[in-house]
Amino acid sequence: MSLFSLEGKIALVTGSGQGIGLALAEGLSEAGAHVVLNGRDKAKLERAAEAMSAAGRKVSVAPFDVTDHAAVEAGVATIEAEIGPIDILINNAGMQMRAPITEFPIEGWHQVMATNLHSVFYVTQAVTKRMLPRKRGKVISIGSVMSELGRATIIPYTASKGAVKMMTRGLAAELGKHNIQANAIGPGYFTTEINKALIADEAFTAWVCNRTPAGRWGETKELVGAAIFLSSAASDYVNGHLLMVDGGLTAVV
């Protein structure tokens, strides 16, 4: 299983104080990586880090706002100076807002784009310019089934996740010759804090279960295998790929 080992690797996971980001961070740490938790809430990150450390995991925290370009550059520089070179980046920070296009607040559009798209560019730029001289690295961004499908009332979200898919392909084209692989994971409907209201909606949950061949919501732990694969030597010849983890949703009509 050495192909999937992350021993000796340092992984930065953005938006990892809870939900999918925390699940991925825990999974990478179990595979041997020293994980750096990131988010804006330092106290939340420290609670998560304490739990991981108590389980014998290698973990650090790096609280900074991924939507602030200057903060990203400073934060990544600090990680590299104080913890070590970042081998794996998981761009996970994200948000959702819902409203019809005719009523969607313009400030909401900018907020969704800053969190879901601009942050991916900022953090990837800061990390990959340090990966380039080392001639190695893994960049994994969290897309969505909405990278491929449209849905009413979440147009900014679908636009941002479609852009993440195409940024991933552009990164693969540009960085592949430097032994840096850029891929993405496309989650389907998962039981996370961001989906709390939808999960509580019986009609919507019934729709998810009927629409998804697996017949249920996904659990965050079911994203870990894909993240380990794309972070490890097992994926050294995989580049520019969007790996759907959606219970089969995008494969059927």
Active-site residue numbers?
157
Unique residue bearing structure tokens 């580049």: 239
Beta-strand (E) ranges in 113-169?
137-142
Could you give the CA distance from residue 38 to residue 22 in angstroms, rounded to a whole number?
A: 10
- According to DSSP, the β-strands at 10-13 and 88-91 are parallel
Give the up-direction half-sphere exposure of residue 14: CA atoms within 13 A in the CB hemisphere: 29
* Residues 130, 51 contacting (CB under 8 angstroms): no
Which H or E element spans position 209? helix 202-211
The C-alpha angle 247, 252, 253, rounded to 5 degrees, equals 130
